[in-house]
Chain A
Amino acid sequence: DSGVTQTPKHLITATGQRVTLRCSPRSGDLSVYWYQQSLDQGLQFLIQYYNGEERAKGNILERFSAQQFPDLHSELNLSSLELGDSALYFCASSPRDRGRSLNEQFFGPGTRLTVL
Chain B
Amino acid sequence: DQQVKQNSPSLRVQEGRISILNCDYTNSMFDYFLWYKKYPAEGPTFLISISSIKDKNEDGRFTVFLNKSAKHLSLHIVPSQPGDSAVYFCAASARRDDKIIFGKGTRLHILP
List the interface of chain A (C-beta within 8 A of B).
2, 4, 33, 35, 40-45, 48, 55-56, 58, 90, 92, 97-98, 100, 102-110
Contacts and interface: CB of A to CB of B under 8 A. Distances in A.
Contact of B44 (A41, A43, A48, A58): A43
Nearest to B46: A104
B104 interface: yes
Contacts, number: 62
B93 A103 contact: yes
A48 B46 CA distance: 18
B98 A104 contact: no
A109 B104 contact: no
Secondary structure type dominating chain B contacts: strand
B85 interface: no
16 contacts: A33-B100, A35-B102, A42-B104, A43-B44, A43-B102, A45-B102, A48-B98, A56-B98, A98-B98, A102-B98, A103-B32, A103-B49, A104-B46, A106-B46, A107-B36, A108-B43
A110 B49 contact: no
Interface of B: 4, 6, 32, 34, 36, 41-46, 49, 51, 89, 91, 93, 95, 97-105
Contact of B34 (A42, A45, A90, A104): A104
Contacts of B104: 40-42
